[in-house]
Amino acid sequence: MIPDWLLPILFAAIAFVYASVGFGGGSSYLALLALAAIPFQEMRLAALICNIIVVGGGTLIFFQNRQVDFRKILPLVAVSVPAAYLGAKMRISQETFFHLLGASLLLAAALLWFQPQRREENLESKPQPVRDGFLGGAIGWLSGMVGIGGGIFLSPVLHFFRWDTARKIAATASVFILVNSISGIAGQLSHLPPGINWSRITLLGAAVLVGGQLGSRVSAGRFNPVLIRRWTAVLVFVAGLEAVLK
């Protein structure tokens, strides 16, 4: 069991690593909160709030570096936002939640690790709104159910389709996580339990703010997609195993 004093340190470290590839870290936050025996519904809320804090700053940095292509992102988020809201409103048992989360993370880890190498100039730049809308809706719905932003699922799929450069995919994942996390929180508000520990959530939010800002700046200046992707795959795999065992 993880003591409360150690959680902010671990959250800051996770935020640093995930922010460097445009992710929020929600999957690993959930795994740590499970080890700390945090109540089930508070876990999902805390993870989404931390997601927003991390990717909010990261999205701004990506935007300043002109890595955000809103024309291509729009079909993804237009469908994912309502889907994430509906997924978050669904009432599922704790056992179902951990089974679903664990299976999803193990799949995401495999996609990240075995993602084929490709040349950056060999890209598919033409938008495909129907396909992207379907992907955004499916990933948004799943993300709303498990309480993460969905970038960990979206990023490897976009790489598979050669959607854009590695940096622009990271920026897209960051925007995707931001809007889906907000939508997921909105969906959870209708059935939040009493006794939420807001002091703990505030402390964890401050920790990921520091780690996330540092990680985003590493990404913007010295991006190494292969190394960071492999590290992320290991983290996601460990989180998936923990969720299944939990």
Q: Who's near 101: CB < 8 A, 6+ residues apart? A: 27, 30, 146, 147, 240, 243
pLDDT means per 10 residues, the chain with 246 residues, are 86 84 77 80 90 84 80 92 93 83 82 66 68 94 88 84 82 90 91 86 94 74 64 76 75
DSSP state letters, 63-102: HHTT---HHHHHHHHHHHHHHHHHHHHS---HHHHHHHHH
Give me the numbers of helices (H) and strands (E) for the chain, helices first please.
10, 0
The residue extents of the domains of the chain are 4-245
For 139-160, how does the pLDDT look when each residue is reduced to its tens digit (9 = 90+)?
999 989 888 888 888 888 888 8
Could you read off the pLDDT of 104-121 as tens digits, one per residue?
878 878 877 876 655 555
Between CA 34 and CA 158 the distance in angstroms is 30
User: How much is the pTM?
Assistant: 0.84
CA gap 149, 58 in Å, rounded: 14
- The DSSP secondary-structure symbol of 116 reads P
E strand intervals along the chain: none
